[in-house]
Amino acid sequence: MSEVTFTYPSRVESEEQMLDDVTGVLDEHGIEGDLKRNILLVISEAFNNALIHGNSFDPAKGIVLRLVVNQTEIRADIIDEGQGGLERVRAHRSPGALDTHGRGIGLIRHFADLVDFREDDQGRLEVTVCFERNMRNQEV
- CATH at 111: 3.30.565.10
pTM score over 0.75: yes
Q: Say if 35 falls within a structural domain.
A: yes
Residues in the chain: 140
Domain ranges, residue 122: 2-132
Q: Say if 137 falls within a structural domain.
A: no
Low-confidence spans in the chain with pLDDT less than 70:
84-103, 135-140
113, 131 Cβ separation under 8 angstroms: yes
Please state the domain count of the chain.
1
Q: Say if 108 falls within a structural domain.
A: yes
The per-residue pLDDT for 137 is: 45
pLDDT tens for each residue of 82-91: 876 556 655 6
Alpha helices in the chain (DSSP H): 14-28, 33-49, 85-91, 104-111
Residue 24's nearest CA partner among 9, 44, 4, 8 is: 4
d(CA 127, CA 92): 15
d(CA 5, CA 72): 19
Determine the straight-line distance between the first and last CA of the chain, rounded to whole angstroms: 24
Q: Say if 75 falls within a structural domain.
A: yes
Q: Say if 139 falls within a structural domain.
A: no
